[in-house]
Amino acid sequence: MGYRHRANVSATNSMLAPDHLKPMPPRRRRSRRRTSRRSGSLSLLLVVVLVAGIGYLLIQRGVLPAPPGPSRPAPHVDGAADNHAAIARLGGRVEYGHVDPATGQRSGVRATITPAMVAAAARDELGSAADPDIRPPGLDQLPARNRARAHLLGRQLGGTGELPANLVALYQTRANTPVMRDYETTVAEAARAGQTIRYQVRPRYPSPSFNGAPSAIRIIAAGNRSFPLDVTIANTPQATVTQATA
């Protein structure tokens, strides 16, 4: 009887204890936390899926621009970009020549320029600007505000600016622009008129061992419908032009 009485007293005391002194069952608290975390993760996943779905629909309808695809590396020759394959697909041909390892002299370019090449260059689908990391011999000896990495095969004719063999150091004014540029424009206009043009540009140097900028540039062009051109442009600020006589 005494044991039962003590048990009853203990039970009575437990019933009379204040609520804040009663221990909370730990299992229920953990269960609630787990449920809350799962609910939050599920909500986040639904939001991500919803946003992705809406974005996909907007891209398909043209409201949002599509993300850029993986870039394709440009074809390379000796570590520099070369677009001779692209030119060949347009019916043309180009030989960018070579760079002398001792002096840096450029041997010059030979090309067959087609109307398709000039049209592609006008749409910026062929040719490229001069790479600022390429420093042709003699560039640093020219005035900082009047020097250029000049294309031998001009950009408007489809020439690349990412190949050292196609870049030489020229006075920007007037040798590169407007003089050389204007002759290149004349060639481009003849090609746009339907002519296929054999084209050659050769830099001239004071001597075979000279390791500076060329002293002049010679341009020779011949179209398949009577388009003759043979000029030599001095690499000076005056850019004196000498025309070859027949």
Q: Which of 133, 134, 172, 180 is nearest to 155 (CA)?
A: 180
Pairwise CA distance, residues 90 & 27, whole Å: 76
136 contacts 167 by C-beta, under 8 angstroms? yes
CATH code reported for the domain at 76-243: 3.40.570.10
The torsion defined by the Cα of 180, 184, 189 and 190, in degrees rounded to 10, comes to 110
pTM (2 d.p.): 0.68
124: exposed, middle or buried (C-beta count within 10 Å: 0-12, 13-18, 19+)?
exposed
Pairwise CA distance, residues 148 & 172, whole Å: 5
Residue pLDDT tens, the chain, 246 long: 444 444 454 444 445 455 555 555 555 555 556 666 666 677 777 777 777 777 665 555 544 544 544 444 433 333 348 999 999 999 999 999 999 999 999 999 999 999 999 999 999 999 999 999 999 999 999 999 999 999 999 999 999 999 999 999 999 999 999 999 999 999 999 999 999 999 999 999 999 999 999 999 999 999 999 899 999 999 999 999 999 976
Count of CB atoms situated within 10 Å of the CB of 93: 16
Give the residue extent of every domain in the chain.
Answer: 30-66, 76-243
